[in-house]
Amino acid sequence: MTKIDFEKPINDLLLSIEKKYPPKLFSAIKYAVGSGGKRIRPTLCFLSADFCDVPRKNALSFALAIELIHSYSLIHDDLPCMDNDVLRRGKPTVHVAFGEATALLAGDALLNLAFETLFSAAKTNSDLLPACELIAECAGGQGMIGGQALEFENERFSEEDLFILDKKKTGMLIKCAILSPAYLSGSPEKTSALSSFADYAGLAFQLSDDLIDADKEEKTSFVTVCGKEKTKSMLLSLREKARLALSKWPGENEALYAFFDKLAFRNN
């Protein structure tokens, strides 16, 4: 797997806004975006671009935008009125470090910056627009935000409810990370195959998270609803389906297979 160079583009983006933003707002944004995230979504985006023979630089604005959207969603998710988390990746959350108002605005600014990045790229290459629209839809009220809202609108969840919730809340950003480069591929066959692969990957990522958090959280999750063993066997079944989706392209599918396993079996 080619090394994914994502830190340089994200740092370049931060540099480009530093002088234009109020200092504290910028510091909060830098703290959130630069603080050692795993860059799962950008990695998926680039691996999918490789699979589709799309140059990574053409998918860069997608990777950046999706990572910014992911960062903003964590800041807002951690706020006292949401999950009220005080630590993230071993460091104080943004509202603990910078205050609630700045955290709220830093999240807003990151979501906005994601779309500024996409418009700026689309302005010089309008072929990017269908994928930009996909990203916006996946991030919004029918996608990720819809999933976050569902979590607060209901008290009890069946297995089916959880599928819907996780498909939106976690799955949609994973989905657009994998699918956006395919929109540039000109290959309906690969696009359709990646769409299925992305669905399985998003769900597997959530199940794997639920297993990791099984012993430390009281939140409703697949593990609390279905039990550890069933969750593990669901993961194996998702792995099989994901491999089947891309099985037509031996050789080309290996990096995505390997990254799927890395995501899905983090706790083993």
- 130 binds a copy of itself, rule: CB under 8 A: yes
- 182 binds a copy of itself, rule: CB under 8 A: no
Please count the other Cβ atoms lying within 10 Å of the Cβ belonging to residue 105.
18
Please count the other Cβ atoms lying within 10 Å of the Cβ belonging to residue 204.
26
With respect to a copy of itself, which residue has the nearer C-beta, 139 or 204?
139
- 94 binds a copy of itself, rule: CB under 8 A: no
Q: Which of 206, 195, 208 is nearest to 246 (CA)?
A: 195
Residue of the chain from 29, 33, 211, 238 that contacts a copy of itself (CB under 8 A) = 29
Question: Residue 88: beta bridge partners?
Answer: 91
With respect to a copy of itself, which residue has the nearer C-beta, 13 or 234?
13
Q: CB–CB of 146/168 below 8 Å?
A: yes
By CB under 8 A, the count of residues binding a copy of itself is 52
Pick the piece of the chain touching a copy of itself (CB under 8 A) from 53-61, 143-151, 211-219, 236-244.
143-151
Rounded least distance, CB 144 to a copy of itself, Å? 9
**Cα angle vertex 258, ends 257, 261, to 5°?**
90
With respect to a copy of itself, which residue has the nearer C-beta, 146 or 171?
146
Rounded least distance, CB 118 to a copy of itself, Å? 8
> Taken in order 247, 248, 250, 251, is the CA torsion positive or negative?
negative
Radius of gyration of the chain (CA): 18
With respect to a copy of itself, which residue has the nearer C-beta, 37 or 107?
107
- 267 binds a copy of itself, rule: CB under 8 A: no
| Stretch 1-20: interaction string toward a copy of itself, x if CB under 8 A | ----------------x--x
- Could you write out the three-class secondary structure of 28-62? HHHHHHCCCCCCHHHHHHHHHHHHCCCCHHHHHHH
Which helix H or strand E contains 88, and what residues bound it? strand 87-88
- 142 binds a copy of itself, rule: CB under 8 A: yes
Spatial distance between the Cα atoms of 27 and 112, rounded to a whole number of angstroms:
16
Q: Which residues of the chain form contacts with a copy of itself (CB under 8 A)?
A: 17, 20-26, 29, 72, 76, 79-82, 99-102, 104-105, 107-109, 111-113, 115-116, 118-120, 122-123, 126, 129-130, 132-133, 136-137, 139-142, 145-146, 148-150, 152-153
